[in-house]
Structure 1
Amino acid sequence: MKKKIILIDGSFYLYRAYYALPNLINNKGYPTGAIYGFINMFNKIIKMNINSYFLIIFDAKGISFRKKIFSKYKSTRINMPVNLIIQIKPLFKIIQAMGYNVISIKNIEADDIIGTLSLQAEKKNYFVFIFSIDKDIAQLVTQNIKIVNPINYSISGPKEIYKKYGVYPKFISDLLALSGDPIDNIPGVPGIGNRIGQNLINKLGDLKYIYKNINYIDNINFRGGNNIKKKLLKYKKLVFLYHKLTKIKTNILINIDNLNLKMKTQKKNLKYLFKLYKFNKWIKNFHC
């Protein structure tokens, strides 16, 4: 029977927890909402996935290769609040004391870590479940790699991705390069939204095939085909740049074999940390 490995987009849960409980503090005035909310949600995932392995992946400080090749990448995002920043290291300590891996690599985005670990785990015959709401992650989906929506816990395989985005997982990065991704501040081609992008991909293929067969656009029932062709030619260089931004890397320097997937709970340390941050509801679980 295949074993399950759960990859958690820690940065998503971190922000979700913080904004759900922004004013939670302990008796010393230290903000604890992000820590408390995160552990609450994580415990729920653990209970839903008994006998699974878990890896929690976070974005790290530093400049990713995407930012280096496109300075406007993610430039519309607001800076992380100070009250959230100071909760990150304590949260990492608690997760590790619980017996789970925290993975964060300077200058590498969490998506690329998740992408690399997903493929490595699939090759080792794991079922992989990625807890993330990031649509970039949809490109990783296969029969053995699935996405779990962190809000309603719905599971998406290739068919569900096609139904949601109008293209199969392997074309998600091409679609985002064409139609843009406002969340990451990737413009896409002006005038080519999701619908046109979907049609181009489903009738011609990925970006390379679209440009290789660009003269066929007039012959495949495209409304305003000539105008679309002109836009594609005008923005060709930029589209392939955007594709470098939307394509998740699956070959970064991390090896799942070097990660300890069976870490033990550090009970005394965990009890100490729960006492320190006044998480009294969890302390009663300890008898050490």
Structure 2
Amino acid sequence: MKKKIILIDGTFYLYRAYYALPNLTNSHGYPTGAIYGFINMFNKIIKMNVNSYFLIIFDTKGKSFRQKIFNEYKLNRKKMPHNLIIQTKPLYKIIQAMGYNVIYIKNIEADDIIGTLSVYAEKKNYFVFIFSIDKDIAQLVTKNTKIINPINYSISGPKEIYLKYGVYPKFISDLLALSGDSIDNIPGVPGIGKKIGQKLINKLGNLKNIYNNINYINNFNFRGGINIKKKLIQYQKLVFLYHKLTKIKTNIILNKEYLTFKIKPKIKYLKYLFRLYEFNKINN
């Protein structure tokens, strides 16, 4: 029977926990809500996935290659609150003491680490489940790699991704490059929204195929086909730049210890950390 690898978008859970318990502190006034909330949510995932391996991936400070090639990338994001920043390192220590690998790499986005791990694990014949709400992650979905929504725990395979986004997983990055992604501050091509993007992809395929067959656009039942063609030609350079932003890397060099998928708990140290942060009622 195939083993399961669970990849967790740690940054999503970190923020979710922080905003759920913003005022929780220990008796010394040290904020602990993000740590406490995260561990409770993580324990729930562990219970739901017995006999699985778990890797928790975080974003870090630093300029990713995307920010280097496009200054506006994620420029609309708020800075991490100070009270959350000071809880991240203690949280990493607790997760590691529980026996699980915390993965973060300076200047590398969590999505690219998740992409690399998912491809590696699938090649090693594992089932991969990614706990994430990030639409970019949808491009990683295959028959053996699925996304679990961290809020309602619904599972998405290729069919569900198609029903949700109107294109199959391998075209998600093309769709986002064409129609834009407001969350990451990627503008897309003006006048080409989600529906036109879906139609172009489902008729012609990926961006390269769309541009290779740009003269056939008028043959399809597109309202304003001439205008669509003009926009695509006008924004050709930019749309391929946007595609570099929306395409998840799957070839990041990772420390070998992250690829062993072993659980090594340090019970004494974990108990010490729980006492330090005064967690008496963690839900196990």
Q: Considering the TM-score relative to the shorter chain, is it more than 0.5? A: yes
Aligned positions of 1:239-254 closer than 5 A: 239-254=239-254
User: Hey, what's the Cα distance between the residues in 2 that align with 1:9 and 1:70?
Assistant: 24
Secondary structure of the structure 2 residue equivalent to 1:263? coil
Alignment of 1:104-115 (within 5 A): 104-115=104-115
Which residue does the alignment assign to 1:180?
180
Tell whether 2:119 aligns with 1:119: yes
8 Å Cα contact 1:58-1:102 kept in structure 2: yes
Look up the SS of the partner of 1:86 in the other structure.
helix
Tell me the alpha carbon deviations over residues 2-37 of structure 1, each in whole angstroms, 9 at most, x when there is no partner.
000000000000001101111111111000000000
1:193 equivalenced with 2:193 (yes/no):
yes
Cross-structure match for 2:269: 269
Q: Distance in 2 between matches of 1:56 and 1:230?
A: 44
Question: How much does 1:258 deviate?
Answer: 5.2
Give yes or no for the alignment of 1:215 onto 2:218. Answer: no
Gaps of 5+ in 2: none
**2: distance between equivalents of 1:226 and 1:282?**
61
Tell me the CA shift for residue 255 of structure 1: 5.6
Runs (4+) of structure 1 exceeding 4 A deviation are 255-258
Report the number of matched residues: 284
Describe the SS at the equivalent of 1:183: coil
Q: TM-score, normalised by structure 2?
A: 0.98
Q: Superposed, which structure 2 residues align to 1:1-150 within 5 Å?
A: 1-150=1-150
Counterpart of 2:106, as a letter, is K
Could you list the per-position Cα deviations for residues 85-133 of structure 1 after superposition, in whole angstroms to 9, with x for gaps in the alignment?
0000000000000000000000000000000010000000000000000
Q: 1:258 to 1:92 in 2, by over 3 A?
A: closer
Question: Whole-Å Cα distance in 1 between the matches of residues 256 and 55 of structure 2?
Answer: 10
TM-score, length-normalised on structure 1?
Answer: 0.97
Secondary structure at the aligned position of 1:80 is classed as coil
- SS of the aligned residue for 1:280 comes to coil
Measure how far apart 1:155 and its partner are: 0.3
How big is the shift at 1:264? 2.1
Shift of 1:187: 0.2
**Backbone CA RMSD of aligned residues:** 1.2
Q: Give the direction of change, closer, same or farther, for the CA distance of 1:10–1:110 in structure 2 (3 Å limit).
A: same
Aligned partners of 1:121 and 1:256 also within 8 Å? no
Q: Conserved in 1, the CA contact under 8 Å of 2:39 and 2:282?
A: no
| Alignment check: 8 A CA contact 2:40 2:282 kept | no
- Read off the aligned partner of 2:156 and give its amino acid letter: S
Q: What CA deviation, in whole Å up to 9, does each residue of 1:30-68 have, x standing for no partner?
A: 000000000000000000000000000001121000000
> Partners of 1:90 and 1:102 in 2: how far apart?
12
Q: Is the 8 A contact 2:73 2:186 kept in 1?
A: yes
- Cα distance in 2 between the residues matched to 1:54 and 1:274: 21
Q: What is the percent sequence identity of the aligned residues?
A: 81
| Separation in 2, partners of 1:115, 1:255 | 15
Residue segments in structure 1 that go unaligned for 5+ positions in a row: none
Contact 1:8 1:130 in 2 (8 A): yes
Q: Deviations over 1:245-284 (max 9, x none)?
A: 000000011166653422221111011100100101149x
Question: What SS does the corresponding residue of 1:182 show, helix, strand or coil?
Answer: coil
Q: Which amino acid aligns with 2:56?
A: I
In 2, the alpha carbon distance for the partners of 1:257 and 1:211 equals: 42
